[in-house]
Structure 1
Amino acid sequence: MVGNRNSGRTPLDWESRMKIALGTARGIANIHTEGGGKCTHGNIKSSNVLLTDELEACVSDVGLAPLMNAPITTSRIVGYHAPEVIETRKVTQKSDVYSFGVLLLEMLTAKAPLHQSGHDDVVDLPRWVRSVVREEWTAEVFNVELLRYQTFQEEMVQMLQIGLACVAKTPDMRPTMDETVRMIEDIRQSESKNRTSLEAESNIQTP
């Protein structure tokens, strides 16, 4: 869904990706408010985010992991799951935040959560993004399809920062899903204001 990695798919434009990201964040945040604010999803990944024809995001598989009562095996925890889940086999709301962060990075880079990175090494997406940003090659992070949208480069960088905050190695350093929703909403509101301003300038310049 988010990464658009499969051939034959029409690449999503930037506004569509923002809409999907915000809808997904709101869905997870809503799950976290259930059960007195103690509920978790535990299996956030791109295939569990379903889209309507209007690109409204719906988070699926809610509550299935506890019902199945299946132990978390290595094959299930790689890629989207937080480092502490690998160690403790326990999911939390902050590990859901980490998984959402991987989704954001997937959306921005079009790379899989685990991918080959030279010499046949398998690298997890958060580590790869951190290494590229650390070398100050931030532009190299983004999917080539996104680089066509020059007007939204600032928003792309801001979304990248949110994604990196969500995949912080220490759970306490990650934002809550409610905080993540607010950050994405702030970017969209700023984006809307900038678009309105540009349209106004264009109208003024039109003879």
Structure 2
Amino acid sequence: MGESRPSLDWDTRLRIAVGAARGVARVHAEAGPKLLLAHGNIKSTNIFLNSKHYGCISDVGLSSITTPLGPPVARAAGYRAPEMSDTRKPTHPSDVYSFGVLLLELLTGKSPVHATAGDEIVHLVRWVHSVVREEWTAEVFDVQLLRVPGIEEEMVEMLRIALSCVARTPNQRPKMVEVVKMVENIRHLEKRQSS
């Protein structure tokens, strides 16, 4: 979703979010109660689109449970949960954090770590938090999306979900199965609010 890529419409971004959420939840569910399998490398370059433009996760394997991941610097820093600096083993909550970064990327059209015109390094999660804290929420969204009427409430709801996923502490983040339900329900917002 970096600045040099073509813009995606809102429906496609929503389908990417739904499909990717389902995929990560499936990885978490497949492991069972004794084996907590985490993806460990959720990022936009590991999301592919199927023929209906739903996101499909890739780079799924057993390596995360058999050998430790490389040093934290070797992984995509912008997607890494804060607690991952203390451990190399991915967890379900660290996957949720990475998924939240992916949602922010879909909403903003910005990379997780990017440089400004003045070569200042900007971390997407910190930037979004600062903009929302200042109550400039509309500044968060990709300008291409702001031109489309009738999707503002859906974008704000996805932002709310993303912010819950990137909560600083792991126990404050929702489970992926909950994230799936929340993302799937975004499209039903207007129907609920008009009734």
Judged with a 3 Å threshold, the aligned counterparts in structure 2 of structure 1 residues 77 and 47 are, in CA distance, closer, same or farther, namely closer
Counterparts of 2:63 and 2:186 in 1: how far apart (Å)?
A: 33
Counterparts of 2:76 and 2:17 in 1: how far apart (Å)?
A: 22
Judged with a 3 Å threshold, the aligned counterparts in structure 2 of structure 1 residues 173 and 82 are, in CA distance, closer, same or farther, namely same
Gaps in structure 2 of 5+ consecutive residues? none
Rg: which structure is higher? 1
Q: Which amino acid aligns with 1:126?
A: V
Q: CA deviation at 1:52?
A: 1.9
- Do structure 1's residue 61 and structure 2's residue 59 form an aligned pair? yes
Counterparts of 1:85 and 1:77 in 2: how far apart (Å)?
A: 11
What residue in structure 2 maps to residue 128 of structure 1?
127
Q: CA deviation at 1:189?
A: 2.2
Counterparts of 1:105 and 1:132 in 2: how far apart (Å)?
A: 13
Q: Which amino acid aligns with 1:34?
A: E
Q: CA deviation at 1:180?
A: 0.5
Judged with a 3 Å threshold, the aligned counterparts in structure 2 of structure 1 residues 166 and 137 are, in CA distance, closer, same or farther, namely same
Counterparts of 2:163 and 2:54 in 1: how far apart (Å)?
A: 24
Alignment TM-score, normalising by the size of structure 2: 0.89
Q: CA deviation at 1:39?
A: 1.3
Counterparts of 2:102 and 2:61 in 1: how far apart (Å)?
A: 19
Percent identity for Structure 1 against Structure 2: 54
Q: Which amino acid aligns with 2:20?
A: T
What residue in structure 2 maps to residue 170 of structure 1?
169
- Do structure 1's residue 13 and structure 2's residue 12 form an aligned pair? no
What residue in structure 1 maps to residue 144 of structure 2?
145
Q: CA deviation at 1:183?
A: 0.8
Counterparts of 1:118 and 1:91 in 2: how far apart (Å)?
A: 34
What residue in structure 1 maps to residue 85 of structure 2?
86
Counterparts of 1:179 and 1:113 in 2: how far apart (Å)?
A: 23
Counterparts of 1:108 and 1:4 in 2: how far apart (Å)?
A: 11
SS in 2 for 1:151: coil
Aligned-pair RMSD on alpha carbons? 2.0
Greater share of helix: 1
SS in 1 for 2:151: helix
Alignment TM-score, normalising by the size of structure 1: 0.84
The worse-fitting range, judged by mean Cα deviation, of 31-40 and 168-177 is 31-40
Q: Which runs of 4+ in 1 moved over 3 A?
A: 67-70, 117-121
